[in-house]
């Protein structure tokens, strides 16, 4: 990789990220059903109907996985805590096996000298709460607050930082308007509600964490670069609307207590009554911002089509296995833009960045030069953002392991470590070794 650890400020954190449902093996340890289990069991939603029942069996193999992080010379592990593992019905009864598991996991992270970066929610909503409307029900904020209390009472004394939610755009728009993720709705009213309630849940969780005296609390947002497809007014308007829905809706709510008018206009009467009264709760001060970034899209709009009337396509740069265009300048853009327009000097972490490729083990090794280049170019984009004044304090590669890539099942491989899903054998890829070498320099 074209960087050395010594190019970065002292204390800069290098790590890798994962998420509970994607790696743990949800069938173990008394976890309750989630809306991803039921979504995956419904034909047509997930490639091969695959689910997270076994995944990478991190539940039993986390020690081996944490050793991989340590052996690479990384500083931190970003993981998430499954709501349904801790509270199988989402409310009420607590599963002590689930709490014990996260207790062991955090201790094992610390024993290896790694910093535990916790995310409270990375998408596996308990199915019992989905029955009650899930993210469309305003009560989800309180339910999430109660889960926050339970898990924080157990591990909050040892985690380094806590992010409330991962990628609220996916939790709401992708899952309730586009229908690509659980619960698979395509309904504008459900979307408007979910897009507000996910922010409210962040605010509620933050209030609960503050009441316990927790520091280093923030949120992880995903950003996607939206460029006009061409020089037309339609393309400019389309890129602006896409940026508002995907990027500005969440960061503006959290840091300024406002929503972009262009999206409110589209949602119209579908916003929940009295949403304005929640904005102070949503915009409480955070301690850090997590930025997830992967790609760019070129956008245009058909103003005569039903709102939002957007068409998206990748540009002509090389693409990953996901068909996502590789555009490292976008990471520099969002890091500097976040600092300039939204969070000022607050610490920013790149909490996810990485790529999928059709990797294979050949003679015991996995050669993945495209991933090495991808990671190197994006880490250098983060370095440029620091030089341009953004207070970027860390970079987490997505992901440590090949894992359950949601609607794509196990087909798309994002890991720096290959996982054979028959034997569960881990094989560090060439990119892992390249990162290790750069971190030692
Ligand atoms: O796998 C996901 C992860 O769960 C959230 N961020 C994007 C990754 C790649 O799609």
pLDDT per residue over 296-350, tens digit each?
Answer: 999 999 999 999 999 999 999 999 999 999 999 999 999 999 999 999 999 999 9
- Expressed in angstroms and rounded, the spacing between residue 251 Cα and the centre of ligand 1 is 19
- pLDDT for residue 305: 98
**Residue 402 Cβ < 6 Å to ligand 1:** no
CA of 266 to the centre of ligand 1 (A): 27
Q: What is the pLDDT at residue 317?
A: 98
- In this prediction, residue 258 carries a pLDDT of 98
Q: According to the model, what pLDDT value does residue 254 have?
A: 98
Q: Give the predicted TM-score (pTM) of the model.
A: 0.98
CATH number at residue 91: 3.20.20.80
Distances (CA, A) of 218 to 30, 81, 125, 154, 210: 29, 15, 20, 19, 11
Expressed in angstroms and rounded, the spacing between residue 405 Cα and the centre of ligand 1 is 7
- Give residue 441's pLDDT: 97
Measured torsion, CA atoms of residues 157, 161, 163, 164, in degrees rounded to the nearest 10: 20
pLDDT at 410: 98
DSSP string of 237-255? HHHHHHHIIIIIHHHHHHH
Torsion of CA 282, 286, 291, 297, to 10 degrees: 30
Number of domains, the chain: 1
Which residue stretches of the chain have pLDDT < 70?
Answer: none
CA dihedral (185, 17, 222, 286) in degrees, to 10, reads 110
Residue 20's pLDDT is 99
User: What is the atom index within ligand 1 of the atom nearest the CA of 405?
Assistant: 1
Catalytic residue among 24, 124, 352, 405: 352
Residue 353 near residue 292, CB atoms below 8 Å: yes
Residue 50 CB–ligand 1 contact under 6 Å: no
Query: Ramachandran region of residue 19, left (φ > 0), alpha (ψ -120 to 50) or beta?
Result: beta
204 is catalytic: no
Range of the domain at 20: 5-440
| 224 included as an active-site residue | no
The residue assigned the tokens 């989630």 is: 34
Instruction: DSSP for 205-218, please give it.
Output: HHHHHHHTT--SEE
Span from the CA of 353 to the centroid of ligand 1 (angstroms): 9
Q: Which atom of ligand 1 is nearest to the CA of 19?
A: 4
């Amino acid at each position: 990789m074209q960087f050395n650890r010594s190019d970065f400020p002292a204390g800069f954190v290098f790590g890798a990220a994962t998420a509970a449902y994607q790696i743990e093996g949800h069938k173990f340890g008394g976890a309750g059903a989630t809306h991803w289990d039921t979504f995956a069991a419904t034909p047509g939603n997930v490639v091969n109907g695959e689910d997270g029942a076994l995944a990478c069996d991190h539940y039993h193999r986390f020690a081996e996985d944490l050793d991989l992080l340590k052996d690479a010379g990384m500083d931190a592990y970003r993981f998430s805590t499954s709501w349904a593992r801790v509270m199988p019905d989402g409310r009420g009864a607590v599963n002590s096996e689930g709490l014990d598991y996260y207790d062991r996991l955090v201790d094992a992270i610390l024993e290896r000298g790694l910093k535990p970066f916790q995310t409270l929610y990375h998408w596996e909503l308990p199915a019992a709460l989905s029955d009650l409307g899930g993210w469309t029900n305003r009560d989800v904020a309180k339910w999430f607050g109660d889960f926050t209390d339970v898990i924080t009472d157990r591990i909050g004394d040892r985690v380094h930082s806590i992010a409330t939610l991962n990628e609220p755009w996916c939790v709401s728009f992708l899952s309730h308007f586009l229908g690509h993720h659980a619960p698979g709705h395509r309904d504008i009213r459900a979307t408007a509600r979910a897009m507000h309630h996910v922010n409210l849940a962040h605010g509620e969780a933050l209030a609960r964490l503050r009441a316990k005296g927790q520091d280093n609390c923030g949120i992880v947002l995903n950003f996607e670069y939206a460029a006009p497809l061409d020089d037309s007014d339609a393309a400019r308007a389309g890129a602006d609307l896409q940026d508002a829905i995907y990027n500005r809706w969440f960061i503006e709510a959290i840091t300024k207590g406002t929503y972009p008018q262009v999206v409110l206009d589209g949602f119209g009467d579908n916003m929940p009554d009295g949403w304005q009264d929640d904005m102070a709760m949503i915009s409480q001060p955070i301690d850090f911002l997590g930025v997830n970034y992967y790609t760019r899209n070129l956008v245009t709009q058909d103003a005569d089509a039903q709102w939002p009337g957007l068409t998206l396509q990748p540009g002509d740069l090389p693409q990953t296995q996901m068909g996502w265009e590789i555009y490292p300048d976008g990471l520099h853009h969002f890091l500097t833009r976040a600092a300039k327009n939204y969070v000022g000097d607050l610490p920013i972490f790149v909490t996810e960045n990485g790529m999928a490729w059709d990797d294979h083990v050949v003679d015991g090794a996995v050669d993945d030069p495209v991933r090495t280049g991808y990671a190197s170019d994006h880490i250098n984009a983060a370095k440029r953002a620091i030089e341009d004044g953004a207070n970027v304090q860390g970079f987490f590669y997505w992901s440590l392991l090949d894992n359950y890539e949601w609607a794509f099942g196990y087909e798309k491989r994002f890991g720096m470590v290959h996982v054979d899903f028959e034997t569960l054998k881990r094989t560090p890829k060439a990119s892992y070794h390249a990162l290790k070498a750069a971190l030692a320099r």
